[in-house]
Structure 1
Amino acid sequence: MFCRSFSWFIRIFVAVVISTGCSHPISVTEFYTEVTAHSLTTSKESLTVGRVQAAEEATAVDLGALLDAGDGAVVTLLAGDTRLVAHRAVLAARSPVFADMFRRVTVEGSSSQLVHSDTEGPVLRQVLAYLYTLQVPQLPSMAPKLLVAADVYGLSVLKEHCEQQVAAQLSVETAAAAGVLAIRHSANRLKQAAVAFIKAHLLHVVATQGWAEAVANDPQTVVELTHLIAETPTDTSTPSAGESRTGPSSQPHSGHSDDGRSPATAVPPTTPQATPEPDDATVSLLRDLSGEEKGQMLIVAAKEGSVSKVRTLLAVGADVEAKDDYKWTPLHWAAIMGHVEVARCLLEDGADVNARDDWQNTPLHQAAWNDNAAVVRLLAASSADPNARDSSGNTPLHDAARRGHADAATALLEAGADREVRNDDADTPLDLAERKNHQQLTYILGSSSV
């Protein structure tokens, strides 16, 4: 009798346990996520943290909240041209960030729309699909952007899966971007994978356009990445799956003026951004680049106006006379953009002050065309020819006159520019100023006192 009672007790106990365990079902995908997210560690603490993170995102949605909220149950999410309608309760239950958003909206006044200016429409659509289904999108090409969104909205499990997808696609072209992405968004597993990959393919990775773009766009993070790469000895003997020896494209302006020549279009000077001084590890990586790659990076640095980058690249052997597709040198770009200190640095390193591009324009032509008078004076003081002619016979003074740039014209006249010189159309600078109705230029060029 006792045995039979005990047997029934055991059956009831097991039924209760099973019933309790199934009250919050976990899908196969979630279970796989939990296991794979912690495959690198067997510590009880790490497994517990992973389960807590997964449980937070798998919190059951209170469907009663949808019923009771009435018209306030839904919210419209705007991302560019994309409009998505979702239930507040679903978003709040899955994402602590959305929950906080809705709490603030409730306090500050009701709103049925949320604008997400930092997230692209297709990415936000996939985030919502995940919030509703807890199924991780299998879109490798979108994985980097989804990783960023997962970090923004506090979705730890989605973030871990995106890390795995990005890591699975590592190549010599993508490794630098993946490393920067991992550091900026605290994606530790991806960071470890990217650093290990770069160490194994170092010379090939730093020779790619992807590395050059990372250096140009986020130098501070690249410095941090190089610290991680340099922490242990690097194996550079492993052959790469593919090798690229192309530098960043400068993508210059190529608009034609009304006389057929092709100077840069007017570009306002940009304010140089302060960048950290490169450490020995970064300098060592730069030294391993080819001459062409260092030259292209120097052109990009001159275009940006970064004196620090220009000096570093010159120090590791970048060719001061490097040319882009239009035969514009770094000095041409400094003149175009009005970067005086960069121009000075290049001149001190021996840059040809009278270098010619495809249309026979000198840096002085470009400085005059863009009214960068300070660069005009610097170039003139460095023995630039004030009467150099381009392929249409125009001098820098013709360019300044045509564009109505009084300051540049004055600087050119002070440097000895000939106001009587005629181009291939037999026009003097004064003729061009009068034709364009630039009254100040007409006065300056018609006056003998300047």
Structure 2
Amino acid sequence: MMFCRGFSWFTRIFVAVVIFTGYSHPVPVTESYTGVTLHTLTTDNSESLTVGRVQQAEEATAVDLGALLDAGDGAVVTLLAGDNTRLVAHRAVLAARSRVFADMFRRVTVEGSSSQLVLSDTEGPVLRQVLAYLYTQQVPQLPSMAPQLLVAADVYGLSALKAHCEQQVVAQLSVETAAAAGVIAIRHSANRLKQAAVAFIKAHLLRVMATQGWAEAVVNDPQTIVELTHLIAETPTDTSTPSAGESRTVPSSQPHSGHSDDGRSPATAVPPTSPQTTPQPDDVAISLLRDLSGEEKGKMLIAAAKEGSVSKVRTLLTVGADVEAKDENQLNALHFAAARGHVEVARRLLEDGADVNARDRWRNTPLHQAAWNGNPAVVRLLAASSADCNARDHTGNTPLHDAARRGHPDTATALLEAGADREVRNDDGDTPLDLAKQNNHQQLIDILGSS
């Protein structure tokens, strides 16, 4: 029985390979599953495909198929991407092409057989392209996805794919993408990209630093941005000898390795008159953030509140971000923190003077947001900070109406404890109890119906 199943798998894969290689009909085939176009290998003497490459592909395919033949029921594994996308692949193919996957399967075997691998750091579309590469050894021609594929190639130990992605990212360096490219290059040891990004940023420094991409990189990865700025400072703009009358400038900060590439201490044209110290990374990051416009700081504060990052919120407030900055719908950082249940972020915003009763375009307060989304801990925090428990939105609904409509008994209880009026009616004449009944929320009916 095991042999039959194995032979069945072998037959299916063999037929697929025959079709793919154009054995009978050399017609292009589009593989919709991976989202890339796979072209057949014709049997003529095409100049673009050498005999050696064909032999290598055939040998690799034979190894993979042989492993599948012996694998039996354990041939297939489900990969769960970070966005919960599920992809199915063959263990033998993945293990043969990636030492990282091979190590994963060995660990799974030791810990107990599993038919699923969770790859939370890789999103579904990127993982699809990685699998396409592992099966076909063809580099996806998707320039817009090249940065993400570079990261994935580094994670899964695919050096050839990583090198190709580096070329693609370098080829599309721009003022808008340079900062992100530099961060990726440093974090994933992409030296060619790092050199190109540093040179590009140095040549367009002011324009790059004025982009949203630079601002986001400063907030999201300040340590790497600090390292990037050190590299920019260390890279000479022109290696030619200065002409007469020109002064030779020297970066104030030394290389973070403590020495130059040749092992000698960096030379200085003029000895400093007073000791100079390299700024601490946090100081550099703060300095970079202070140079951003008020609008940029406000946008980043809202983004940090959405994310729930207390440290980013604290840093942005320190450099002067407006705690009342709003988006196009008049929602501020406290609205988003309340909606998403980020208690500590909400606390930090309140400590910095955020208006606890701020209104968005629909007249919702942060308490409305917390009630609608069922965040009782935030409700208690806002109530303790003098939030109006009976504030009405543009249709007359109070936070208690929202909790009742949405079915959040714990939130409704917190609102009642804070003094919310259970008898108040909205513009349609409904009380919170009426809304609970209309939506069949029995637990809320019991809570709101009791005196």
TM class by smaller structure: 0.5 to 0.7
Q: Which runs of 5+ in 2 are unaligned?
A: 1-51, 70-74, 80-84, 238-279
Q: CA deviation at 1:298?
A: 0.6
From 164, 168, 177, the equivalent of 2:167 is 164
- Counterpart among 380, 383, 397 of residue 380 in structure 1: 383
Once residues 102 and 299 of structure 1 are traced to their aligned partners in structure 2, the CA distance between those partners, rounded to angstroms, is: 38
Contact 1:77/1:116 (<8 A) preserved: no
What's 1:97 paired with? 99
Q: 2:368 aligns with which of 361, 365, 370?
A: 365
Match of 2:27 in 1: none
Match of 1:438 among 435, 441, 448: 441
Task: Give SS of 1:423's match.
Answer: coil
What is the DSSP-based 3-state SS (H/G/I as helix, E as strand, rest coil) of the residue aligned with 1:183?
helix
Instruction: List aligned pairs for 1:337-356, cutoff 5 A.
Output: 337-356=340-359
2:429 paired residue among 416, 426, 429: 426
1:56-67 aligned at under 5 Å gives the runs: 61=56
Counterpart position of 2:269: none
CA apart distance, 1:168: 2.6
1:380, 1:284 → 2: CA distance?
36
Instruction: Give 1:357 shift.
Output: 0.9
TM-superposed deviation, 1:435: 2.9
What residue in structure 1 maps to residue 32 of structure 2? Answer: none
Work out which of the residue numbers 189, 192, 196 in structure 1 matches 2:195.
192
How far apart are 1:318 and its partner, in Å? 0.8
8 Å CA contact 1:227–1:281 kept in 2: the answer is no
Which residue of structure 1 aligns with residue 3 of structure 2?
none
Deviations 1:354-412 (A, max 9, x none): 11111111111111112222211221222211111111011112112222322222222
Identity over the aligned pairs, expressed in percent? 65
Which whole-Å CA distance do the structure 2 matches of 1:384 and 1:427 have between them? 23
CA distance in 2, matches of 1:196, 1:308: 31
> Structure 1 residues 160 and 445 mapped into 2: Cα distance closer, same or farther (>3 Å)?
closer
- Gap change, CA 1:295 and 1:96, over 3 Å in 2: closer
Q: Which residue of 2 is the match for residue 305 of structure 1?
A: 308
User: CA deviation digits over 1:412-431, x for unaligned, max 9?
Assistant: 22322222221111112222
Distance in 2 (CA, whole Å) between partners of 1:65 and 1:338 is 51
Superposed CA offset, 1:2-40 (max 9, x none): xxxxxxxxxxxxxxxxxxxxxxxxxxxxxxxxxxxxxxx
Give the structure with higher Rg (CA): 1
**TM, length-normalised to structure 2:** 0.62
CA distance in 2, matches of 1:70, 1:372: 53
Q: How far off is 1:445 after superposition?
A: 2.7
Structure 2 CA distance, aligned partners of 1:98 and 1:337?
A: 36
Distance 1:286 1:342, change over 3 A: same
- 1:349–1:130 distance in 2 versus 1, CA, 3 Å: same
CA distance 1:424–1:230, shift in 2 (3 Å): same
The CA distance in 1 between the partners of 2:310 and 2:100, in whole Å, is: 43
The residue aligned with 2:407 is 404
Aligned residues: 338
Per-residue displacement from partner, 1:110-158 (whole Å, max 9, x unpaired)?
xxx9999755444544566557xxxx77764454355345545655455
Provide closer, same or farther for how the CA distance between residues 421 and 279 of structure 1 changes in structure 2, counting only shifts above 3 A: same
Deviations 1:188-230 (A, max 9, x none): 12112223333443443344343455456xx34x422322313
Secondary structure of the equivalent of 2:336? Answer: helix
Q: Map of 1:21-420 to 2, 5 A cutoff?
A: 61=56, 97=99, 120-126=127-133, 130=137, 140-148=143-151, 150-151=153-154, 154=157, 156=159, 159-214=162-217, 219-220=220-221, 222-230=222-230, 233=233, 279-420=282-423
**Deviating more after overlay: 202-211 vs 382-391:** 202-211
Cα distance 1:387–1:230, how it changes in 2: closer, same or farther (>3 A)? Answer: same
Deviation at 1:162, TM superposition (A): 3.4
